[in-house]
Amino acid sequence: MSIHPTAIVEEGARVPESCTVGPFCTIGSNVVLGERCELVSHVVLDGHLTMGDENRVFSFACLGIAPQDLKYQGEPTQLVLGDKNDIREYVTISRGTAGGGGITRVGSGCLIMAYTHIGHDSSIGDGVILANAATLAGHVTVEDYAVVGALNPVHQFCTIGTHAYVGGGTTITQDVLPYSLTSIERNNHAYGINKIGLERKGFTRDEIKQLRAAYRLLQASKLNTSEALATIREKIASGEFGDKVAYLADFIARSERGVIK
């Protein structure tokens, strides 16, 4: 068994010899690990936690911790995980509550990215991806193979349907349809140039004037992006616009996803 000398494994914990426990990990007395699990470092496993085989838990993740519920009074509730999950840095997964069924569940083959929170009594299916800082309140269900994007808060008692994809930054307050692509409407807009910042970085008055003129062609003219870019290129060739605008034009030309205007 590979247990780093700085790790703390309480009496009663079941850790197979095939597991690897890295520096400064803490494993509580009611934790049961499956075969070939790896705790990278500084991992906290607490409560009545049962973990399947070949799970990898990265630094500073906290699994099986007490639920963030004022009604919780220390009942022996559980967290149950399946096999072959990757649980990244600073993930927190709470155990269940007596009023919510007593068990938080995570299936198998999931990728749970950094800073994700899975609240008490939630149920995560197999093959789920929870991107960075996905925040699941209590009693949330995420069905098999769904993807929850980065920075997504999910209201308690909501269900994310199987194979659904929820775009980053989307707030979920109702159930998400299976097989759907669900995302918040994005109306991002570039509000001209960063004049004060450019002045502080030593851009000349003429350079800022040229950039403003180029941005007016991009944003305020009736030209589409390709037409505006062609006009800007003509002004660069004539010497009306200098190297800063040339960089802007090159940036637009090489963009594969399009630019925010």
> Which positions are catalytic?
120-121, 138
Stretch (H or E) spanning 200: helix 195-200
Tokens of 136: 């699941």
Nearest to 172 by CA among 156, 186, 185: 156
Dist CA 92 CA 130 (whole Å): 12
Region of residue 169 (phi > 0: left; psi between -120 and 50: alpha; otherwise: beta): left
Whether residue 121 contacts residue 106, with contact meaning beta carbons closer than 8 Å, is answered with no
Dist CA 157 CA 203 (whole Å): 53
Instruction: Quickly tell me which residue has 């808060």 as its tokens.
Output: 153
The packing angle between helices 243-254 and 225-237, to 10°, is: 150
Nearest to 60 by CA among 27, 29, 86, 91: 91
Q: How many CA atoms lie within 13 A of 234 on its CB side?
A: 7
Buried b (16+ CB within 10 A) or exposed e, 66-100: ebebeebeebebbbbbbbbbbbbbbbbbbbbbbeb
